[in-house]
């Protein structure tokens, strides 16, 4: 393998690694947002159930009106938080981004395997790498409104390390 081919292979390998990290971080972010959405939804549902059940009348009969008002305000506030943060839309964006980066990750791995197995020449490797690199940059631009948090990246890195060790 020539020196320039080694450099291209290293770049493809870096693109593959970065795509895997970003893909996993987006999927972790989607899980986190989905968890927030479900937890808030459960709290809203439970508050409404308690409001319309005789439970408050049994527990705090003297303060029933205050209890109902408190739970109604809590439920409405949690629904407002859900609306403001729009977790479901974020989940969909993160899943879409994760799918895009997963595609780039798999294509980069396939490209490296094809080159290492001498199924494609260096010119094809370079041409395909440029296409993948362009796709990666376009994905970065397309999904700049749903950037995973540092915690999502750290969790993704740990998850990848764990899966790599288990193999």
pLDDT for residue 166 is more than 80: no
Mean pLDDT computed over 105-120: 95
Percent of the chain with pLDDT over 90: 92
pLDDT of amino acid 2 = 67
Distance CA 61, CA 46 (A): 19
Mean pLDDT computed over 134-141: 97
Q: Considering only CA atoms, which of 115, 109, 119, 92 is closest in space to residue 27?
A: 92
The answer for residues whose C-beta is within 8 angstroms of residue 87's C-beta and 6 or more apart is 33, 34, 36, 37, 40
Mean pLDDT computed over 107-130: 95
| Tokens linked to 104 | 């780039």
pTM reported for the whole predicted model: 0.87
Q: How confident is the prediction for the chain on average, in pLDDT?
A: 94
3 state SS of 85: helix
How do residues 28-48 score in pLDDT, each as one tens digit?
A: 999 999 999 999 999 999 999
φ/ψ of residue 147, rounded to 5: -80, 130
């Amino acid at each position: 393998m020539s020196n320039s081919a080694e450099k291209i292979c290293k770049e493809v390998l870096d693109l593959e690694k970065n795509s895997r990290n970003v893909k996993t971080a987006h999927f972790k972010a989607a899980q986190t947002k989905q968890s927030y959405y479900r937890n808030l939804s459960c709290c809203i549902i439970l508050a409404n159930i308690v409001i319309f059940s005789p439970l408050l009348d049994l527990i705090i009969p003297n303060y029933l009106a205050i209890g109902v008002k408190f739970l109604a305000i809590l439920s409405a506030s949690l629904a407002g938080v859900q609306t403001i943060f729009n977790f479901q839309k974020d989940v969909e964006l993160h899943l879409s981004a994760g799918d895009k980066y997963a595609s780039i990750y798999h294509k980069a791995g396939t490209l490296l395997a094809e080159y290492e197995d001498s199924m494609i020449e260096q010119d094809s490797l370079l041409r395909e790498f440029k296409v993948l690199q362009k796709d990666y940059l376009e994905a970065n631009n397309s999904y700049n409104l749903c950037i995973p948090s540092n915690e999502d990246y750290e969790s993704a890195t740990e998850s990848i390390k764990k899966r790599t060790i288990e193999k």
